[in-house]
Amino acid sequence: MKALLVEDDANKSAQVAEFLENQTTIDGLYEARSYNSAIRFLSVNPVDLVVLDMSLPLFDQSAEEDGFQDDAFGGMEVLAFARRRNLSTRFVVLTQFDTLGEGDMMIGIDELGSKLREEFGTIYLGIIYYSPAEASWREQLKRFLHDHSTNR
Amino acid sequence: MLSGADTLQAAIRHFAYPLDESFQDARRLLCFTGYLPIIDKFHLLRRVSCQTERFSTLEDYLRSGTPIKDREIHDLFNLCFPKERMLGASELTSVEKRLVELQNSIRSGDAATARELATTLSAQDPELFEALDIAISLDASGGEPPRASPLYDVIQTVKELTKGERSERASMGDLRKIAFKIPSRNLRYYLANRCYLSRDSRTMQAPAETFEIHGRFSYLLYESPAPSKERRELVVHYEALQEAYSKRPAILAAESWMEAGAVITALGFLAEATRLRFHKQTSDALAILNQIVSRVQFWNKLPPGTKITIRRALAELLLATGRVDEAISNAAEVLLGGGILDHVLGKNLIETVIRSIDQRLHSKTYSGILVACLGAPAKQIYPVFDNFLSAFNTDNVEVLIGNARCGVHFNEWLELVCILPVLARSPIYTSTIEAENARIRLCQHLIRVDHNVAKLTAEIAELTQKQLIRKGVANVRRSKIYVDESGIRRSSATTLREKFHQFVESKKTTGANALKLFDAAQLSLYLPNADGDLVPQRLETSAFEKDNVRILTHGHFLMFRSLFLEVRNQFVSSNNYGLDSYLSIRIRHGTLQGQLRSPFETHHLILQRLAPGHGYAESDYWPSRLGLDVLDGKRTELHFLFSQFSRDIDAEIVSVKDQMIHVSTEEKKRQGLFDYSYTDAELLAILDAKFDDVVNYDQFIDRTFLVLWQKTLGNLATVRATIESQTAPRLRETLSRLEVGLRGVFVGEGQELFQAVTRAYPALNNALDTVSDWFQPSSQATPEALEAAVIADVALASYRNIHPGRPFIDSITGEKSHLMHGRVCSPIYDVVAALIDNAFVHSRLSPESADVRVEFSFTQEKISFTVGSNVASGTSVADSVAIVKRAASRFMSASNESALISEGGTGLPKLLKILREDLSRAHIELDAHQEGARRIKVVVTIESEGLIL
C-alpha cells in the first residue's frame, strides 16, 4: 500500500521513514513536513495510509517561511480536511508528546485518542506514543500496518 | 464572575477594539453588563471618547490607569491581562455584590434565584432600578414593582400614556415630578434622561445637572440646527442603549416615547412575543416576529437598532425551534448591523455551525459571517470557508468574485471570512506570502467596489509592511557572509595598482626576443610536488611539444602570487573590510550563541551564565511551574541537570565559534573552516585559467574577487556540512541527555516540562537551519529603499528572532516615513544589536528582570538610537555611565583594530567601525546618562545625510 508520512521533525521523520520503508506492506512512501504540504498532497494523490504527527506547522519551514507557528493540534486539521473531502485514506497518529496542548486545553494521549475516534470514526485507526529511545512504537505501528493491509 | 475561554476571547477583542471619532467602536463599552446605571456608562464612554486622541484602543486607555469605577470592566481587564493592575477598582459594597450575584444568576439561566434576589433587593432598596427592572423582566405575567417605589410610579405613568388614558403632556409632567423627587443623583439622571426624550420636554424646567443630557438628546428629537456629526453620534449612542438594554421596561418606555408609529408597534409586538416565549408559546412568538419582518414597508420604517433587537429575538426563537438556517441568517444580520448577541445565544449558534457537517449550511454566506464575527479561531472558520468553496467546486476563492450565485453579503463574507489565517489553511497557497498576496488581492477587489475602504486600505498597508519587514529580516540574515569590496578597492588602490603594473611588466619579459637567449637543455620546469609546491625539474623538451606547453618565467608567477595573496589577505583579514571582521561582528559576537541558545531559552531549559567561574543562575520558572519549594530535593536535582545542560550547550557553541568560524590561510594555520590557503600549483592554475588575458587593474581586482568568492562558496558548503554532521548531532545528544536526566527525577509527573523538552527538538532543528542559512553569500542585488520605520522594525524583528528570551520595549519616533537606502538594514541592525546586547549583559540582571527600552528617532538631520536599561542592585549606575563614557572617548579617538576580529567586551569598537565604515558616518555622538536612580541610557546619534533619500 501507499503511505504518506507527515512529520516536521527531521530526526523523527528519518527514523520513521526508515522503519516504514523496510515494511513489506508499504510499496510507496511519500513525505510531507507541514499541514499545508500534507493536504496539498492528499488533494491530488490518493494514499492508503497516513502516519500523522499531531503537532505541525502550517507551512513547510524554511529560511523564508516564518509566518506561522506550530499548532499543537495541526494534525487534527489534516484529519478534518480528509473527512470533509471524503477521502478513503486511513490515519495513524504518531506523536512524541504524552500530553498535548497547554493549560486548560492540555489533554493526555489516551484522551486525545478517544476524542479522535469519536470525531473521525473509521478514518482514524489509532494513536501511538513515539520515543526515539524506545522500540515499542515500531511494534505498535507494525501492528496497525498489518491490520490495515489485512482489512483492506 | 465571568469565566470561560469564549468570554475571555470576546473581552480581549473588546479591549483591543480601536476607538475612533465616531463612537462606532467606543460604544461597545455600553454593552458590558455591569452594576452601574447605563447613564454612568454613558459618562464613561464620553470620558473614553475624549481620550481618543491619546489612546488608539480601549486597552491602551484601560492600561493608562485612568480610574474606572465599573467593577465588571475591571474584572474583565484582570482576566485578560492577569499580570497588569488597573487603577480605580474598589471593593464592592454588599449591595453591589448582590447585584453582581443577581446578574450572574441571570447569565447562568437560573431564573428562580434571579427572581428571588431581584424581588428581595428591590424591596430592600426601591432605588435599585436595575433590580426592579430585572424583577419585572422576569415576571412578564404582570409583576409590578413595590407600590412605594419610584419605578412603580414610572411604570404606571407609562402604562397610562401608552394606553392613551392620559395625554402625553400630562404623563411627562408626572414623570418629571417623579424625577425631581428622587434623591439619588444617578437615578435622577436615569429617569430624567428618559423624560427629556419627550417632544414636550422643551417646555420643562430641568434640574441643572440634567441640562447637559437634555441638550444632547434633544438633537435626536427635533429637527434642530445641531451639527450633523453630533446628531449622528447620538443616534449611534441611542442604538447602543437599545442593544444593551432592549428588554428592560424603562428602555421600552423610552423607545415608545421616542419613536412614533412603527417603532411603538414593533416594540409592542416584541414585548408580546417575549411574553409568549416566556410561557413556552414559541411558535406564536415566532409568528408575531415574522409578521414584523415580512411586512416590508413597515420593516423598512424601523430604525436599525429596533431591527437588530427584533432579529436577535428571532434568532433565539428560530434556534430554539430547530430552524438553524434562519436562526443563523438573522443572527448574522444582527452582527453585520453592528449589534451583539447574548453570550449564550452566540455560543449556541457558533457550536451549531462548527459542529455541522452539512455542506449546504456552510455554503451560505451567513454561516461564515456568523462564526467570523463571533470571533471563532481560524481553524474553526476554515472548514466553513472550505465547504463554501466546495459548493462551487473550487479551491480558489478569487474565482468566485463576480459570481452572482454567491448570495447576499458576499462582500462581507470576503472581508470577514477570507482573513489571512483562514486563507493560509487553503491547499492552493504554499506559503505565508502567497496567502498574504491573496488577501491583498481580495482587499483590493473590495476597495474597488467601495466596500469598507478605510479599513481594508489600512489592512493592505499593514500586510505590505509585514512583507517588507520579513524581506528585510531575510536580507539581514543573509548578509552575515560579507566583504566590503569597495572598501578594499578604495583603501588599497595605490599599493595594489603599483604591484599590478609590475606584474604586467614582468609578463612582457617572456616575449620571443628573450627566448632566443635560452638554452633549452639547461632549462627547468616548475612542477608541483605532493604538497602542491612548485619545484624546479629538468626540462624534457619532447614532452614540452607534445603537451603544447607555454613558457612563463617563475618571476612572473611570483609576482602574480604576491599580488593575488595580498588581495586575498585584504579580502579575509582587513580589519575594516574583510570577511573575518564581519564574521566577528555578525556571527561570533553574541549572535551565534543567541541563535543556538534560543530554542532552549524559549522553553526555559537553559540557564543564564553568571560571571566566569560562578556557574549558572538558578531559574525559578520550572520549580514554580512544578510546585517545588526551596527545600525540595527535586529542585536541587533540576538545577543540577539544567546547569550541566547549559554548560554542555555553551561549550559546544564556543567550539563552533572559536574553531569552526575562523579564517585559515597558509600563513595563519588554524582549525577554521574558512580556508583560504592556496598552493603554488593552485595559484598557477588560477593564473593560467583566469588571469592570462588580464590587461588592466580593475579587471585584475574583479577576477581576484571572483576567484575568492568561488573559494568562499566551497568553504560555506563545508561549514554547512559540518554543522549538519557534527554540531547538530552533538546538540541533540546534549538535549537528549537532559531529557533522560529529567525523566529519572520526575517519574509520572511534570508533563508540561516534558512537553517543553519535546518541543525543543524541532525548535533546535529550526535554529540549526537558520544558522546554516547564514552561511550563504550575501545577495549582490541592491536592496530596495525602505521607510525608516520599516528599517527600524527589521532591526528589532531580527534581534527578537535571534534572542526570543530577551524581552524589550521599543518605540520609533520622528519622521518615520522617510525613505532610506535598503543597504543600511544590516549595519543598522548591527548597531542596535550591539547596544541591546550591552544593555542585557551589563545590566547584570536576568532577561526577565531587565527592563530594556529601545528608541529610534528619525529626523531630516539626525538619526539616534537609544537603549536604556535598569541595572542590578549591586552595580553602581554612576560607575557604569563613567565606564561607557570612558570607553566611548577612547575608541572615538583611536580605533582598536584587534578588537574588530575578537569577541567579548563592550563591542564598542565594532559598533564604531560599523558607523564609520559601513554607514560612512564621519561624525558620531555616543553618550551615556543616568536615568532616575537605577537606570542607564546609552544614546548614539549620527547625521542623516546620505542615509535618508
- A102: number of Cβ within 10 Å: 10
| Contact predicate B775/B720, CB 8 Å | yes
- B783: number of Cβ within 10 Å: 16
Q: How far apart are CA B834 and CA B841, in angstroms?
A: 10
Closest CA to B871 of B781, B784, B938: B938
Cβ–Cβ gap B751/A106 under 8 Å: yes
Residue type, A134: E
Instruction: Determine the straight-line distance between the first and last CA of chain B, rounded to whole angstroms.
Output: 56
Closest CA–CA distance from residue A150 to any residue of chain B (Å): 30
- Give CA B235 to chain center in angstroms: 35
* Contact residues for B456 (Cβ-Cβ < 8 A; gap 6+): B415, B443, B446, B447
Chain B residue numbers touching A40 (CB-CB < 8 A): 427, 430
Beta strands B924-931 and B935-943 are antiparallel
The pLDDT, as a whole number, for residue B49 is 52
Q: What is the dihedral of CA B545, B551, B554, B560, to 10 degrees?
A: -130
Residue type, A27: D
Beta strands A2-6 and A49-52 are parallel
| Contact predicate B564/B556, CB 8 Å | no
Instruction: Could you list the beta-strand ranges (E) of B643-729.
Output: 663-664, 674-675
Beta strands A49-52 and A90-95 are parallel
Asked if A106 is an interface residue toward chain B (Cβ–Cβ < 8 A), one would say yes
Q: How far is CA B434 from CA A4, B384, B420, in A?
A: 25, 21, 10
Chain A residue closest to B355 (CA)?
Answer: A119
The pLDDT, as a whole number, for residue B164 is 62
Summary mean pLDDT of chain A: 88
| Contact predicate B356/B373, CB 8 Å | no
Cβ–Cβ gap A97/B431 under 8 Å: no
State the DSSP code for A105: G
- A104: number of Cβ within 10 Å: 8
Cell of residue B698, nine digits = 580593475
Cβ–Cβ gap B429/A36 under 8 Å: yes
pLDDT tens across A102-143, in order?
776 778 889 999 999 999 988 999 999 998 778 889 999 999
What value, to the nearest 5°, has the Cα angle with vertex B709 and ends B705 and B713? 175
Beta strands A107-108 and A99-100 are antiparallel
Chain B residue closest to A120 (CA)?
Answer: B357
Cβ–Cβ gap B390/A63 under 8 Å: no
Q: How far apart are CA B750 and CA B752, in angstroms?
A: 5
State the DSSP code for B948: B
* Contact residues for A89 (Cβ-Cβ < 8 A; gap 6+): A4, A42, A46, A47, A48, A49, A50, A82, A123
Q: How far apart are CA B433 and CA B515, in angstroms?
A: 66
Select from A15, A43, A96 the residue whose CB has the most chain B CBs within 10 Å, as the one to mutate to test that interface: A96
Chain B residue numbers touching A65 (CB-CB < 8 A): 431-432
Q: How far apart are CA B254 and CA B335, in angstroms?
A: 24
Select from B766, B772, B774 the residue whose CB has the most chain A CBs within 10 Å, as the one to mutate to test that interface: B766
Cell of residue B174, nine digits = 408626572
Q: Is B764 exposed, middle or buried (0-12, 13-18, 19+ CB in 10 A)?
A: buried
Chain A residue numbers touching B431 (CB-CB < 8 A): 59, 64-65, 67
Residue type, B583: L
Closest CA to B468 of B837, B860, B776, B819: B819
Cell of residue B720, nine digits = 554547512
Cβ–Cβ gap B425/A58 under 8 Å: yes
Q: How many CB pairs under 8 A join A and B?
A: 94
Per DSSP, the three-state class of B45 is helix
Q: Could you report the predicted ipTM of this complex, rounded to two decimals?
A: 0.92
Q: How far apart are CA B657 and CA B659, in angstroms?
A: 6
Asked if A103 is an interface residue toward chain B (Cβ–Cβ < 8 A), one would say no
- B196: number of Cβ within 10 Å: 26
Can you name the residues that pair with A2 across neighbouring β-strands? A28
State the DSSP code for B945: B
Cβ–Cβ gap B769/A63 under 8 Å: yes
Q: How far is CA B874 from CA B225, B850, B871, in A?
A: 68, 14, 8
The pLDDT, as a whole number, for residue B705 is 92
Closest CA–CA distance from residue B751 to any residue of chain A (Å): 6
Asked if A28 is an interface residue toward chain B (Cβ–Cβ < 8 A), one would say no
Which residue in A11, A40, A81 is closest to B761 by CB distance? A11
Cβ–Cβ gap A99/B387 under 8 Å: no
Per DSSP, the three-state class of B857 is strand
* Contact residues for B507 (Cβ-Cβ < 8 A; gap 6+): B556
Asked if A15 is an interface residue toward chain B (Cβ–Cβ < 8 A), one would say no
Q: What is the DSSP string of B107-150?
A: HTT-HHHHHHHHHHHHHH-TT-HHHHHHHHHH-TTT----TTSH
The pLDDT, as a whole number, for residue A128 is 94
Cell of residue B763, nine digits = 525548535
Q: How far apart are CA B151 and CA B575, in angstroms?
A: 86
Q: How far apart are CA B626 and CA B749, in angstroms?
A: 9
Q: What is the DSSP string of B754-799?
A: HHHHHHHHHHHHHHHHHHHHHSSBPP-SPPPPEEHHHHHHHHHHHH
Closest CA–CA distance from residue A125 to any residue of chain B (Å): 21
Closest CA–CA distance from residue B868 to any residue of chain A (Å): 29
SS in 3 state form for B711-742?
A: HHHHHHHHHHHHHHHHHHHHHHHHHHHHHHHH
Per DSSP, the three-state class of B1 is coil
Closest CA–CA distance from residue A53 to any residue of chain B (Å): 12
Low-confidence ranges of chain B (pLDDT < 70): 1-93, 95-96, 100, 103-111, 122-123, 125-152, 154-164, 167-169, 171-172, 175-269, 271-272, 275, 278-279, 508-523, 525, 539-552, 779-783, 893-906
Instruction: Annotate B201-224 with b (16+ C-beta within 10 A) or e (fewer).
Output: beebebeeebeebbebbbbebeee
* Contact residues for B435 (Cβ-Cβ < 8 A; gap 6+): A67, B420, B423, B424, B426, B429
Which residue in B379, B427, B435 is closest to A40 by CB distance? B427
Which pTM value belongs to this model?
0.65
